[in-house]
Amino acid sequence: MTVIANILIIATISFGTIFILVTAIGLIRLPDAYSRAHAASKSATLGVMSILLGVFFHFWLNEGSFNSRILLGIVFLFVTGPVGGHMMGRAAYISGVKMWDKSVRDDLAEVVKKKRELEK
């Protein structure tokens, strides 16, 4: 049982570490603030959640201690990480941060245009 538990723990922590690495590469390599925000919010959330899940499994399966606070932390990250990234991206768009020159679609342009017309 401990071998299977350790494999599960190592797998989830490794999976999370790989996603954190992908996040770091994305923050360095992606061309604009919106792509970087996407990398930071989505893959970093998944990476940290996987690491926390591995920590939860370690304490539960190896130490025999069920820690509900870790599960609450996972749920909190699952909810707030992507929402925070979305809010920062929208704030950047509304404040005028330019998109990458080769971006093919701007879904928010019409919404912002209509909102500004209504404010006038």
- Return the residue matching tokens 């699952």: 78
pTM: 0.83
Closest CA to 52 of 107, 13, 14, 21: 13
Which tokens go with 119? 């404010």
Estimate the crossing angle of helix 44-57 against helix 2-29, to 10 degrees. 160
User: Over the chain (120 residues), what is each successive 10-residue block's mean pLDDT?
Assistant: 92 96 93 88 92 95 91 93 90 88 85 83
Which tokens go with 70? 């870790």
Q: In Å, what is the CA distance from 55 to each residue of 9, 31, 70, 82, 88?
A: 7, 34, 8, 22, 29
Q: List, in order, residues 6 or more apart from 2 with CB less than 8 Å away.
A: 61, 62
Q: In this structure, which amino acid lies at residue 114?
A: K
* pLDDT given for residue 7 in this prediction: 96
